[in-house]
Amino acid sequence: MSLSLCSGVTVTQTEKFIVIRIGSTGHIPCKHDDSTYYAVLWYQQKKGAERQLQLVAFSAGVNRTDTEEPFKARYNMSRPATLNTTLTIDAVKVEDTAVYFCAASKAQ
């Protein structure tokens, strides 16, 4: 008998679905459980693009965030603590409908 163990970071997005009224502000929270994974990234996947993820925003540490150019006008990432982040979308539009993924990495 052999036993193999593997460990890694657990990333949690507590809400499976978030419904936001058009024109309102939406907040998508995310957390992970390993402070050595200090890079956090947000990706967007549009319907019909199952194999395509677009980077929305990333963070290299607490309060150190950047949003990619196509999203800068209305998307904002906050990261007040190492293990917690929120993606905020201002003035939500129908075009914002997508799956949003949060990821954590040790890479800088």
Which CA distances in Å does 34 have to 13, 40, 84? 15, 11, 11
Domains of the chain by residue range: 26-103
- pLDDT given for residue 88 in this prediction: 98
Residues 83, 105, 101, 64, CA torsion sign: positive
CATH code of 26-103, in short, is: 2.60.40.10
pLDDT in tens, the chain (108 residues): 434 344 588 888 888 889 999 999 999 999 999 888 889 999 999 988 677 899 999 999 899 999 999 999 999 999 999 999 999 999 999 999 999 999 999 865
**Residues paired with 77 in a beta bridge:** 87
At residue 74, φ and ψ (nearest 5 deg) are -130, -5
At residue 70, φ and ψ (nearest 5 deg) are -65, -15
- pLDDT given for residue 68 in this prediction: 96
- pLDDT given for residue 69 in this prediction: 96
- pLDDT given for residue 108 in this prediction: 55
- pLDDT given for residue 3 in this prediction: 45
Nearest to 106 by CA among 4, 32, 29, 12: 32
